[in-house]
Amino acid sequence: MRQWIRPIVGAILLVIGVIWVMQGSGAMGHGGMSGHSQWLIIGLIVAVAGLVLLGGAIARMLRGGRV
């Protein structure tokens, strides 16, 4: 079960980061976060962190090692 923690957390961070990027850029309608560039930057950082976790976990799976 522990082997799935890293890819699941990575996928969740990626999704949250993309949502924050879209809200920060104003692409997701009107709301408290809409159009604020700080959320765009935070979203990019969170999405990249998610990609790193997810990519590392997938690479380990493909090499046959433990995640």
Q: Say if CB 41 and CB 20 are below 8 A apart.
A: no
Check pLDDT > 60 for residue 67: no
* Amino acid making up residue 66: R
- d(Cα 35, Cα 54) in Å, to the nearest integer? 28
Check pLDDT > 80 for residue 56: yes
pTM for this one? Answer: 0.82
Looking at per-residue pLDDT, the higher value among 31 and 1 belongs to: 31
- d(Cα 29, Cα 44) in Å, to the nearest integer? 19
Check pLDDT > 80 for residue 21: yes
Q: Say if CB 33 and CB 15 are below 8 A apart.
A: no
Confidence of residue 64 (pLDDT cuts 50, 70, 90): confident
